Amino acid sequence: MRLDRFLSESTEMTRGLAKRALLRGEVTVNGQLEKKAARHVQSDDCVTWLGEALEPVGLRYIMLNKPGGVECTARRELYPRVVDLLDVAKPERLHSVGRLDVDSTGLILITDDGQWSHRITAPSRHCPKVYRATLARPLEGAGAQRAIRAFAEGVELQGDKTPTLPARLECLDPYQVRLTIQEGRYHQVRRMLAAIGNHVEALHREAVGDLPLDETLAPGEWRELEASEVALF
């Protein structure tokens, strides 16, 4: 990659600031002063800035147990952002893979790999997402069986032109259900349960695709994905 890009990916400098640092004579490559921003950096080159050896950040793949009261947005708004919970270099490069609303909790994936993110969120992929919902009113007996059949067939949501794709509803107890959906429509789980006359009191995402939330992560905690977990998508 170009030297100015290498500097911006391995420090807090922007590309513009990196070019200025080069012109000031603050950068060496393999022990030699280098001022050309277009210089191509090889994988085995040793680049230093003000005498400190640099390494590019590279691509990150992160699992976070999102707590309530945190937003999955890039801009700072009313609430803290999920990236604000991460102690990593250059957090501004990261984005959440899909979203959970501010009150929802559970698994959120975070990355700076746009292609990997797209493979998970693209509507054509039908990547399943698993949620556990706490209901305001009990769902049991014949009503539960009707809901299971309705979700398996697809539900008409107010304002949407097409019904939802088939979804799997499991009744864990009268007030707890697990719902597996293949889409990412706006507030989809809450709207689907509202369509059968219920209300979601709490919503927790348990899994994305074949990747479950690590049970050892407390709310607000995170870890990097293992290579085998990244390869699931």
- Catalytic residue IDs: 101
Q: What is the DSSP string of 19-74?
A: HHHHHTT-EEETTEE---TTPBPPTT--EEETTEE-------EEEEEEPTT-B--S
8 φ, ψ (degrees, to nearest 5): -70, -25
Please give the torsion angle defined by the CA atoms of residues 5, 8, 9 and 10, in that order, rounded to the nearest 10 degrees.
120
Q: What is the C-alpha to C-alpha distance for residues 81 and 142, in angstroms, rounded to an integer? A: 41
CA Rg value for the chain? 23
